[in-house]
């Protein structure tokens, strides 16, 4: 996907400011359209990334097939319904079959999918599918806990609500003991 045209986005933001009753030429807003355009390009950069490039062949031979877990991976995304942020933490676990992924690649996979307009449910599934595809794991588990500003600052205005989603594949789905071990280790 091509880079967004920041000048076009800035022009749209300027029109939006006018529609909201603001003067885009006043001191505090003169550079806002371009700042918003740059911000949106950054916050949606996941559209311009692909899984193979993100993982960059950081797969390493491993003689074990034990559970590998990385938790408390911060994530920041924009909900596709209101384009307001949601943020939280992700835990990823997998049981390797002869190879492991570089640990930073797990966090980069989370970022690649989070930096798109999203719903948390799909984000969780996309991360699990990507880890399974790239690691060739026996099983994968992903849990995301996040707060959604679309619920906190508008709509029902519930500041303390937190959404939890999970996706389990392979042995994490078929073996209750594996799933239970994963869930107990990420608590």
Domains in the chain, number: 2
Dihedral sign (CA 110, 39, 49, 85): positive
Asked whether residue 1 is assigned to any structural domain, the reply reads: no
> Is 39 found in the same domain as 65?
no
Among positive and negative, which fits the CA dihedral 129, 130, 136, 137?
negative
Q: Which of 25, 74, 80, 162 is catalytic?
A: 80
Same domain flag for 104 and 166: yes
Mean pLDDT, the chain, rounded, equals: 97
125 counts as catalytic: no
Above 90 in pLDDT, residue 182? Answer: yes
Sign of CA dihedral 176, 182, 186, 187: positive
User: Same domain, yes or no, for 175 and 151?
Assistant: yes
Give the pLDDT confidence of 20-37 residue by residue, as tens digits.
999 999 999 999 999 999
Domain that holds residue 20: 6-43
Task: Examine the residue annotation and report whether 66 is marked as an active-site residue of this protein.
Answer: no
CB atoms within 10 A of CB 69: 15
CATH code: domain of residue 128: 3.30.1130.10
Task: Quick: pLDDT tens for 142-154.
Answer: 999 999 999 999 9
What is the value of pTM for the model shown?
0.96
């Amino acid at each position: 996907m091509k880079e967004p045209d920041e000048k076009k986005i800035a022009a749209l933001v300027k029109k939006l400011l006018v529609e909201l009753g603001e003067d885009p030429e006043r001191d505090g807003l003169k550079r806002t359209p371009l700042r918003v355009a740059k911000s949106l390009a950054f916050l949606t950069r996941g559209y311009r990334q692909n899984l193979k490039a993100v993982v960059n062949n950081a797969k390493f031979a491993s003689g074990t097939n034990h559970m590998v877990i990385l938790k408390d991976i911060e994530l920041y995304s924009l909900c596709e319904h209101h384009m307001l942020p949601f943020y939280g933490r992700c835990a990823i676990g997998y049981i390797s079959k002869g190879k492991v992924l570089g640990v930073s690649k797990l966090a980069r996979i989370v970022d690649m999918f989070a930096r798109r307009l999203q719903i948390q449910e799909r984000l969780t599934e996309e991360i699990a599918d990507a880890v399974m595809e790239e690691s060739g794991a026996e099983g994968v588990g992903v849990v995301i806990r996040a707060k959604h500003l679309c619920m906190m600052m508008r709509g029902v205005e519930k500041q303390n609500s937190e959404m939890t989603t999970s996706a389990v594949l392979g042995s994490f789905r078929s073996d209750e003991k594996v799933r239970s071990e994963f869930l107990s280790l990420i608590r």
